[in-house]
Amino acid sequence: MRRHAVSSAREGSGAFPSPLRRSCAVALLGFLALIALAPALRAQSWLYPETLADLSPLLSADRPEGLRFLPSTRFWGETGHYIAGRDENHRWHEAIGGAIELVGARDWSVWFESSVLLAIDPNNNIAFNPRAFFWEEGLMLGLRSGADVWSFGFRQRCKHDIDNIELLRATGVEQQRSIIYGGLVARWERDPMRVAPVTLRPLAEANLVLLTEDQRFPVATRVVGPSVNAFLGALRLRVTGDLPLAADVRCGLTADARFTLLGPWPGTRFSGVHALRSEPALEGFVAIDGSAATFAVFARAAVLDDDFISTPPRSAKLLALGIRILPR
């Protein structure tokens, strides 16, 4: 159970064991290698907001026995300011998300999950101009097997422009991009694992992309890659490790790696595999746990080959500082 596991992780003390030091060193070297290889692999962005909160109801402590309807809800939110790598499309972001459990029992659950991210650029007189929103929603079935939680479902993602007339006035060129893609998703999570004094929370997720749309203006940019219309599937690997600092205060790191398969573009999407692309991200945070929620301050670095806003597509390397509220 999450709350019990986190509490037990705070109880021990002592030096890092040698195997853990080696594991941390290997993980750090692997992440640095991903960053070094990113320009060669041409990192391909998934539609963010990223799933930073553990929304599966089955990861909650003290699941009740018996069948229950609408037994739980979980919501989170964050705001961030880009301090490095920011451009005319990125200055701030605001994000909210959550999950509503529709029906469930102790070892299974059906829930609806959704999140929305608003990307804000500086292109107006107050340097706070809503530029685009990213929305994802999915219906999930979760099954618990011991300490493992397996989730299966369908997730739809989209991105739409908001205030883009400022770019038309400044450049004389209309710029608009509408993106839709969705498909089947399978996700594995596990109850927090204690490797004293660190608590680890792993996640692996596979996506099979079935529906795609990448509509752009100017029209001539529609044949320029990378394109969402070439998406075949993706694999995401994530691990969060946190270390207690005080009774209700902890710090930690989240390492995130995503690998996307793309078909030929222009061309028939499922006629073959044209490229395997990666996207690394790394976040450090300090969190304060309350009775019902967690408040966190974070710094997140991400490499995007396609920011899903620009036409033609453009890469971005972003560093953001922000705050976040998460459910306990």
Q: Which residue has the tokens 């993106």?
A: 179
DSSP letter assigned to residue 165: H
> So what's the pLDDT on residue 13?
37
> Considering only CA atoms, which of 183, 203, 191, 178 is closest in space to residue 257?
203
| Cis geometry, peptide bond prior to residue 49 (ω within 30 degrees of 0) | yes
- CA 124 to CA 126: how far, in whole Å? 6
Residue type at 161? Answer: D
DSSP letter assigned to residue 2: H
Residues 324/76, Cβ–Cβ less than 8 Å? yes
Residues 51/237, Cβ–Cβ less than 8 Å? no
- CA 172 to CA 116: how far, in whole Å? 30
- CA 137 to CA 135: how far, in whole Å? 7
Q: Which residue has the tokens 């301090």?
A: 83
> So what's the pLDDT on residue 52?
58
> So what's the pLDDT on residue 69?
96
For 150, residues 6+ apart whose C-beta sits below 8 A from its C-beta are 142, 143, 144, 186, 187, 188
pLDDT under 50 in the chain at which residues?
Answer: 1-17, 19-28, 30-51
Reported as half-sphere exposure (CB side, CA atoms, 13 A), residue 133 has a value of 11
Exposure string over 29-42, b if 16+ CB within 10 A, otherwise e: eebeebbeebeebb
Q: What is the pLDDT of residues 95-152, one digit of tens each?
A: 999 999 999 999 999 999 999 999 998 888 888 889 999 999 999 999 999 999 999 9
Backbone angles phi, psi at 153, to 5 degrees: 175, -165
- CA 290 to CA 274: how far, in whole Å? 48
∠ Cα 128 132 138 (to 5°): 135
Helix (H) or strand (E) holding 251: strand 249-262
> So what's the pLDDT on residue 53?
67
CA distances to 134, 182, 227, 279 from 46, in Å: 11, 11, 11, 8
> So what's the pLDDT on residue 36?
39
CATH number of residue 158's parent domain: 2.40.160.40
The pTM of this model reads: 0.81
How many domains, the chain? Answer: 1
Provide the residue range defining the domain that includes 318.
Answer: 2-327
Residues 77/325, Cβ–Cβ less than 8 Å? yes
Q: Which residue has the tokens 């594991």?
A: 23
